[in-house]
Structure 1
Amino acid sequence: MSTIEDVAKLAGLSRTTVSRVINNHPYVSDDKKKRVAVAMDTLGFVPNSAARRLRKQKAETIAVLVPRVTNPFFSKLIESLEMAASEYKYKLIICQTRYLPEKELEYLQLLATKQVDGIILCSLQNKWEHVEPYLEHGPIVLCNEYAEEAKIPTVKFNQIEGAYEATKHLLEQGHRRLLFCSGSEQSMVVQHRKMGFLRAVAEHKLQVEYMEFIENAYDIEDGRRVFHTISHMNKIPTAIFAGGDEVAAGIISEAKRNLWHVPEQLAVVGFDNQLLSEITEPAITTVCQPVDKMAYKVIEVMMDKIVTKRYRHKEIYEFDLELVVKGSTVKNMMMLA
């Protein structure tokens, strides 16, 4: 295997000059750059980028912690984050926590061992007091998640308003028995959506006859389970805030399989405006989140923290959401025209 000394000897230059060429030093003549390039090509020499990063005290890599890579929302978010990071010549490491606190802490060790320059937390499974010590080693940015006690940058959506608009839409369609379906109650995203849901219900309290809550629903299979749960209730909901398009799709598909009519017997609102919401029959009324805008803001903030090293500084950036009404809540879409 060729070494930098071999390149220097073949190019007729010093090892220092070759090192400057490899590291893009500004004060090297074009002639010397060409000689080094020819020598490297002839010897098949590839610079050790890991060693160069170590010398610069930077890994030029960011870890992104997500609960499920199979969730289309997080898949889209990862894609957008990667595109934004590449503009800064940074790479991403994707870490799936599966909602396990111990996995989250395991991946946070990447920051402590200097394998990454920063960590983007897309969900938070541990108490903040267990995460905060890792700020001694580099920046952490919360993305799509929120923790009141966390004195770090946070980029999120206005979940309260999004859930409020979705619930208000169901109530305006005349529904009186509602179900709020969500993931873990420990998540601030879920808590904020529940706040928006309850705000809409409070405004229509004379109309609402009944409401129920179901937790730990994340995917299509959970949606199918939710349908069978409600189908055996004494008071069956006529409208569901599903909290995610995957869950909404599972509810709708199982409802149809059991010969229920959507939205006449059961109206369903999802969240995320995934492609799935378009191909489900009927299409799913959902809340659209500007994932690209959030991703680029997250990377912008992360780059600033890597440069300034101001890790313990609370900043909140929030993006508004939009309700996209489709066939899962309104039978005759022409009525909305």
Structure 2
Amino acid sequence: MATIEDVAKLAGLSRTTVSRVINDQPYVTEEKRQRIIQAMNDLGYVPNSSARRLRSQRTETIAVLLPRLTNPFFGNLIEAMEEKASEWGYQVIVCQTHDSKKKEMDYLQLLKTKQVDGIIMASLVNDWEVVEPYLESGPIVFCNEYMDESCIPMVHMDHKQAAYEATVHLLEQGCKQIAYVTGGPESHLSKERRKGFTSALSEYNLPFIEDMTIDWAMDVSDGQKVFHMISNEFTQVDGIFTGSDEVAAGLIYEAASSDWRIPDDLAVVGFDNQMLSLLMVPSVTTIEQPVKQMADKTVEVLIQQLLHPGTLPAQKYVFPHQLLIRNSTKRKKLSIQ
């Protein structure tokens, strides 16, 4: 097995120079760097990555905190992040919090104990002042989630505006009694969507009815339960804004089983443009997020913070969304986007 000394001998350079190239350090000319790389290739020499990590005190690992991986949105986000991170020589570990404050804090300890180099938070359960001290141990970047009072980079779309546009669309279809269905109501993201929802109602001189708010609906089975709540307790509801295509799909499926007509009896809006939204009958009107672009930017921003600590501003990167109008809301002739 080839050693670093063998590489140095074949390249005709010192062991120190070879070590500098292996550890990607400066002060080596490009000509010498190429000689060393060629010698490594000729000898089949592979640097000991574990030793390099110990010397640099880096793990070359990023942790991504999210509520649950079973949500296709987060599955797609992780896939894109892992692909981008590998281009930089980093690996990604997934940490599911299940919206638990304790689990979120436990995973943040990975940064404090130097088990990961940085953290991406795709959700936030705790208050920011609880999370902020961990910045002393390494960089944190928000993706999808965001909070104005935080002092870290944030990559997201405008959830308030997206919810506003979706609600206005329901109102334009003639809906007068619109229920608001959300996941974790305490997250900043959910609060922003609620602001957009209430803003649209106010613009149409309609009140926000707290009783028609349903919290902690996250998947298909929750959507089925939501329908039964609507059909038994809120029969006046003629439109629903949901924060998930899964919830919308469960709701539509159960409505069809009960001989409700979608969208004539009940218009439904989902969120995230998951494949499920296209497969449903009727297809689900939804908000599309640019998942890959957001994932790529988040990884890039985090790694730049690792490479240049303390030199980059805490910017906001807001990506555009799109309201895709489909059959679950089309009560009159509208073009499908």
TM-score normalized with structure 1 length: 0.87
Partner of 2:192: 192
CA gap 1:225/1:21 in 2 versus in 1, 3 angstroms: same
**Match of residue 233 from structure 2:** 233
Deviates more, 1:230-239 or 1:99-108: 230-239
Query: Which shows bigger deviation, 141-150 or 188-197?
Result: 141-150
Alpha-carbon distance, 1:11 to partner: 7.3
Q: Which amino acid aligns with 2:54?
A: L
Counterparts in 2 of 1:1-337, with a 5 A limit?
A: 4=3, 19=19, 22-23=22-23, 26=28, 28=32, 37=41, 39=43, 41=44, 47-205=47-205, 212-310=212-310, 314-331=314-331, 334-336=333-335
Q: Deviations over 1:180-212 (max 9, x none)?
A: 000122111110111011011011125999971
Q: Secondary structure at the match of 2:160?
A: helix
Cα deviation 1:147-205 (Å, max 9, x = unaligned): 23321111121111100110011111111111000012211111011101101101112
**Distance in 2 of aligned mates of 1:268 and 1:119:** 35
CA separation of 1:331 and 1:77: change in aligned 2, threshold 3 A: same
Gaps (5+ residues) in structure 1? Answer: none
Residues 7 and 321 (structure 1 numbering): CA distance in 2 closer, same or farther, change over 3 Å?
same
Q: Distance in 2 between matches of 1:9 and 1:318?
A: 49
CA distance in 1, matches of 2:61, 2:311: 17
Alpha-carbon distance in structure 1 between the residues aligned to 2:151 and 2:111: 18
Counterpart contact for 2:8–2:18, Cα < 8 Å? no
The 3 A distance-change label for structure 1 pair 189 and 209 is closer
Runs of at least 5 residues in structure 2 that lack an aligned partner in the other structure = none
Question: What CA distance in whole angstroms lies between the structure 1 residues aligned with 2:8 and 2:93?
Answer: 37
- 1:24 and 1:142, CA in 2 relative to 1: closer, same or farther beyond 3 A? closer
C-alpha distance in structure 2 between counterparts of 1:50 and 1:291, whole Å: 32
- The change in CA–CA distance for 1:206 and 1:18 in structure 2 (over 3 A counts) is closer
Residues of 1 paired with 2:55 and 2:322: CA distance? 46
Distance 1:328-1:51 versus aligned 2 partners, 3 A rule: same
CA RMSD of aligned residues (A): 2.9
How far is 1:36 from its partner?
Answer: 5.1
Query: How far does residue 229 in structure 1 lie from its aligned partner after superposition?
Result: 1.0
Judging changes above 3 Å, is the alpha-carbon distance between structure 1 residues 16 and 284 closer, same or farther for their aligned structure 2 residues?
Answer: same
- For the residue of structure 1 that corresponds to 2:212, the secondary structure is strand
1:311–1:214 Cα change, 3 Å: farther
Letter in 1 for 2:226: V
CA distances 1:233-265 after superposition (whole Å, capped 9, x unpaired) = 154311100111010001001111122111111
Cα gap change, 1:307 to 1:6, in 2 (>3 Å)? closer
Structure 1 position 108, deviation (Å) = 1.1
33 and 241 in structure 1: CA distance in 2 versus 1, 3 angstrom threshold: closer
SS of the residue 1:232 aligns to: helix
Matched letter for residue 306 of structure 2: I
Q: Distance in 1 between matches of 2:49 and 2:55?
A: 10
Deviation, 1:129, is 2.0
Give the 3 Å change call, closer, same or farther, for CA 96–38 of structure 1 in structure 2. same
Partner Cα distance (1:317, 1:102) in 2: 29
Q: Offset of 1:3 from its aligned partner?
A: 8.5
Residue aligned with 1:293, SS: helix
Do the aligned partners of residues 158 and 17 (structure 1) sit closer, same or farther apart at CA in structure 2, a change above 3 Å counting? closer
- In 1, distance between residues paired with 2:125 and 2:35? 55
Give the letter aligned to residue 186 of structure 2.
Q
Identity rate of aligned residues, in percent? Answer: 46
Structure 2 vs 1, CA of residues 37 and 299 (structure 1 numbering), >3 Å: closer, same or farther? Answer: closer
Q: Which amino acid letter does the alignment assign opposite residue 301 of structure 1?
A: V
1:59 is displaced (CA, Å) by 2.1
Equivalent residues of 2:99, 2:184 under 8 A apart = no
**Which deviates more, 265-274 or 8-17?**
8-17
Q: Does structure 1 retain, via aligned residues, the 8 Å contact 2:11–2:36?
A: no
